[in-house]
Amino acid sequence: MARIWNFNPGPSTLPLSALEKARADIPDFQGTGMAVMELSHRSKEFAAVHEQTKSLLKSLFGIPDNFHILFLQGGASLQFAMVPMNLLKQGRSADYIVTGSWSKKAIKEAKIVGSARLAGSSEENQFNRIPSPDSLDLDSEAVYVHITSNNTIAGTQWSRFPETGNVPIVADMSSDILSRRIDLAPFGLIYAGAQKNLGPSGVTVVLIRDDLLAQCRDDIPTLLRYQTHVEKDSMFNTPPTYSIYFMKLVLEWVKEKGGLDAIEKENNAKAELLYGTMDKYPEFFKGTVETDSRSRMNATFRLPTEEFEAAFISEAKSAGFGGLKGHRSVGGIRVSMYNAMPLKGIEELTRFMEDFHKKNG
């Protein structure tokens, strides 16, 4: 078996123990004589998988009792539309803070549905930072304030969330959910595609608080209503059973590692090592974002020339490191180091960076 160090931005690397467990379960899941993907979603065996996945997520992430946990389809991209369809009523508006390509897509969808205000943006700085608190122009009457907690493409992350008073925060946490401990009190709704930190693609986690659910519109199509999915416990139609099952394996791995605190500690160590190595040679590994906005999930940097960048990516590939090419809109190098990337992977990558600098710097 030859597994690479997989730095893909999403879908991304998964814990080996989860992959092996899934493989062992495939022909006959728990004596059912069927694989999980052959089970009825209404069977008691799948119902147990579904319940355990919810309860693991709830305990590991510290989700309060007044939240509903939904497993939906359509990716974070459908949530860009579902959030405003459910919450934006006539005569009301929502605030959006735009910190990268994904938040731009989110506000675009909201404007199709209703009134969305730009309450802050770092676009004029090529999204190289999280806007400072005093640059935000928040509306105290807004239905919600939408943020992207980690900007997967730009390589920035909110370290402290904006102060929004009584206005709930709605957050796209696709690329940093369950990577650090967060006080969920200011959040009314959180959504995340699973394929960065939680499992394979195909399932989208939505956490919605009671009081926001109560405000949702009921004059929109059934499948697009959060209320439908809460009432049917994500079983209004056939859910992505295999993706949910796989997410459970990933959550069990998180628990075995020591839970969120252990994960956060390792994520911090990885980011410190990676950025520390870049900062030793700032003229060679040129970070593309402001230091205080750096993401602990996606580190982005440029090399002195595009030729160096191409050589870095191809030599890294030969040495067993994949997925390092920056997003086409940014260029350069992007190191995605989600939960399932161990510290050892970053130790080996930074050793490669040191060697590459020695040869070319």
Catalytic residue positions? 102, 172, 196
Q: Candidates 73, 77, 115, 128: give the one binding ligand PLP (CB under 6 A).
A: 77
Residue with tokens 């939904």: 70
Q: Which residues contact 2 (CB under 8 A, 6 or more apart)?
A: none
Identity of the residue, 143 or 205, whose beta carbon is nearer to ligand PLP in the bound complex: 205
Size, binding site for ligand PLP by CB under 6 A: 12
Position among 8, 39, 46, 75 found at the interface with ligand PLP (CB under 6 A): 75
**3-state SS, residue 114:** coil
Task: Choose, by CB under 6 A, the member of 175, 179, 197, 267 that binds ligand PLP.
Answer: 175
Query: 258, 326, 318: which is closest to 286 by C-alpha?
Result: 326
Stretch that binds ligand PLP, among 73-81, 126-134, 241-249, 331-339 (CB under 6 A): 73-81
Short-list 113, 85, 78, CA closest to 217? 85
Diameter of the chain measured on Cα atoms: 63
Among the listed residues 335, 179, 155, 192, the one whose alpha carbon sits nearest the alpha carbon of residue 267:
179
Contact stretch for ligand PLP (CB under 6 A) within 27-35, 69-77, 110-118, 207-215:
69-77
Given the rule CB under 6 A, which of 18-26, 170-178, 269-277, 322-330 is the region that contacts ligand PLP?
170-178
Smaller CB separation from ligand PLP, 54 or 334: 334
- Preceding amide of 11 cis, omega within 30: yes
Contact 178, 263 (CB under 8 A): yes
As a whole number of angstroms, the distance between CA 205 and CA 71 comes to: 5
Tell me how far, at minimum, the Cβ of 177 lies from ligand PLP, in Å. 10
In the complex, the smallest distance separating the C-beta of residue 264 from ligand PLP, rounded to whole angstroms, is: 19
Nearest-CB residue for ligand PLP: 75
67 binds ligand PLP (CB under 6 A): no
**Which backbone phi and psi does 121 adopt, to 5 degrees?**
-160, 150
Q: Is residue 174 part of the contact set for ligand PLP (CB under 6 A)?
A: yes
**Interface residues for ligand PLP in 78-137 (CB under 6 A)?**
102
Residues 332 and 301 sit within 8 Å (Cβ to Cβ):
yes
Q: Would you say 54 and 230 are in contact if contact means Cβ atoms under 8 Å apart?
A: no
* Contact track, ligand PLP, 229-268, x by CB under 6 A: ----------------------------------------
